[in-house]
């Protein structure tokens, strides 16, 4: 399971303001350098991409990532539903 999730990435996008768990956050796009992903044979074909959002709430930092195993980003509706599903619970 862990082997299938191992992923190396490089930043390809600029930092963008967004939200995570209903709090101000920022998002960065990364290109997958995944050893397990299906890498494109054609150099012009888009590689798998991922989005990572970062937020700090009450002194604790959180980083959450969604990645696509195929070319490009995951579908926008999946990205939105995924990041909107997080909630930070009180201790």
- Nearest-angstrom CA–CA distance, 91 and 53: 22
Task: Name the β-bridge partners of 63.
Answer: 54
Check whether 3 has a pLDDT greater than 90. no
- Per-residue pLDDT reduced to its tens digit, 41-71: 666 677 888 899 999 998 999 999 998 878 8
- As a whole number, mean pLDDT of residues 67-84 equals 89
- As a whole number, mean pLDDT of residues 22-38 equals 78
**Radius of gyration of the chain from its Cα atoms, rounded to whole angstroms:** 14
Of all residues in the chain, the percent with pLDDT exceeding 90 is 42
């Amino acid at each position: 399971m862990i082997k299938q999730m191992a992923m190396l990435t490089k930043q390809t996008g600029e930092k963008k303001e967004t939200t995570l768990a209903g709090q101000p956050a920022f998002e960065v796009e990364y290109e997958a350098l995944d050893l397990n992903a299906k890498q494109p044979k054609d150099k012009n074909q888009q590689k798998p991409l991922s989005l990572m959002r970062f937020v700090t709430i009450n002194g604790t930092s959180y980083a959450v990532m969604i990645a696509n195993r195929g070319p490009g980003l995951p579908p926008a509706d999946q990205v939105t539903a995924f990041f909107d599903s997080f909630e930070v619970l009180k201790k």
